[in-house]
Amino acid sequence: MSSPLKLGILGSGKGSNFRAIADAIAAGTLNAEVRLVAADFEDAGILALARERGYRAEFVAPGRFKTKMEPENEHRLAAMLRDAGVELVVLAGYMRMIKSPLLDAFPRRIINIHPSLLPEFPGLEAWKQAVEARAVRSGCTVHFVDGGMDTGERIDQAEVPVLPDDTASSLHARIQVAEHQLYPDVLRRIADGRVKIG
């Protein structure tokens, strides 16, 4: 068996996608190990989840910007990930744009999951965008991260129908179920070499 894929996971919220990944590792269905979990909010639920499971969990102050980290802070985060031996950076509900310090440190080694069938409904609250647009389908997309807003190369998608009586919250809940299956599955394919990184 090949050595485990070494993950660094970045989040901003409660960490449900992180939990799905950690559960797959614990169950032995994903050959990976979490080297570092980092968040841009000190009270982010993902940090508490990581600590409960015995993972290294770090708060990295973002600085004064709302949508990205200050460059020196992102350099510090990139150095932390490198020093932890991370091979792949996994965004799990991380709500800031990734810029050159991380993109340069981990070229084609940063992935994200977005709650729509990209290129449809990029940006915030994609499930709400789908309901407001009266879309008949939505879903989630795992993609490589580049400098744009959800514009990186797509790796895989899972479709979720938009039901006639869906609200933004009911659709979001069903998309999250799909996310929790798709993300560990894509990571399995990266870990065993079926999806190439770097």
**pLDDT tens readout for residues 118-134:** 999 999 999 999 999 99
Position 102 in a domain: yes
Position 196 in a domain: no
Position 118 in a domain: no
Position 123 in a domain: no
What CATH number is associated with residue 148? 3.40.50.170
Mean pLDDT of 18-41: 97
Confidence at 1, pLDDT banded by 50, 70, 90: low
Query: Domain of 17?
Result: 5-112+142-154+179-191
Q: What is the pTM of this model?
A: 0.96
**pLDDT tens readout for residues 35-71:** 999 999 999 999 999 999 999 999 998 888 888 888 9
Query: Number of folded domains in the chain?
Result: 1
* Confidence at residue 64, expressed as pLDDT on a 0 to 100 scale: 84
**pLDDT tens readout for residues 79-112:** 999 999 999 999 999 999 999 999 999 999 999 9
Position 83 in a domain: yes
**Contacts of residue 99, Cβ cutoff 8 Å, sequence gap at least 6:** 68, 69, 71, 74, 147
DSSP state of 118: T
Residues taking part in catalysis? 114
Position 27 in a domain: yes
Position 168 in a domain: no
Position 11 in a domain: yes
